[in-house]
Chains A and B, each alone.
Chain A
Amino acid sequence: GENVEQHPSTLSVQEGDSAVIKCTYSDSASNYFPWYKQELGKRPQLIIDIRSNVGEKKDQRIAVTLNKTAKHFSLHITETQPEDSAVYFCAASPLRRALTFGSGTRLQVQP
């Protein structure tokens, strides 16, 4: 089955700096890679996703890159703001199958 590893487990940045979270996956059949943000006590919410036929995707301050050969993908948040503080999860799956999540990164943006 799929195995997703996520690093770092905690990340503290100053407001305005960039944050990068990295994930690796094991199953070459995976072709869908979403990122979820989860605030304390709340449900996971999709912030960006990428499919394997695309190497990079950007949405305002958030971007995701995918290296299918190396089986790794990354989340980049630029110009971080205090409201970006949350736990971020990467995930991977074959299309329309269940997601395998990473263990999460707790991002703290210091004002």
Chain B
Amino acid sequence: DTGVSQNPRHKITKRGQNVTFRCDPISEHNRLYWYRQTLGQGPEFLTYFQNEAQLEKSRLLSDRFSAERPKGSFSTLEIQRTEQGDSAMYLCASSSRTGTSGSNEQFFGPGTRLTVL
């Protein structure tokens, strides 16, 4: 499978615990995005990377959230001291500077569903 992959697919944790998610983008895609989606809503932007540089962070990204892309390939999203309000689907997407449309076509992964009890 040459698409975007995410692990784990599901995560159940207790409030106050830390969790970490991983995203593997499409090979050679230099841009990587994290979004959060709650039931019945569209994805909301969290942060994005161009290669290893984190270029933009949303106001939604509190100081409990941190993301890294250390070698410009895979990325991790960590949530510290989880809260029930963090329960959502966390989606990763990647794009290439020279995508098929020459613009910003973003390919999404299957997501990690987080449930905070």
Contacts and interface: CB of A to CB of B under 8 A. Distances in A.
19 contacts: A6-B42, A34-B104, A34-B106, A46-B106, A46-B107, A49-B103, A51-B101, A51-B103, A89-B42, A95-B103, A96-B31, A96-B95, A96-B97, A96-B104, A97-B56, A98-B45, A99-B104, A104-B41, A104-B42
**B interface, over-half SS:** loop
A101 interface: yes
A43 B111 contact: yes
Interface string A48-75: 0101000000000000000000000000
Interface residues of B, number: 25
Given A44-B108, A97-B104, 19 more contacts: A6-B42, A34-B105, A42-B110, A43-B108, A43-B109, A43-B111, A46-B105, A49-B101, A49-B103, A49-B105, A96-B104, A98-B33, A99-B33, A99-B45, A99-B104, A100-B45, A102-B42, A104-B40, A104-B42
A84 B107 CA distance: 20
Interface of A: 6, 32, 34, 36, 42-46, 49, 51, 89, 91, 93, 95-104
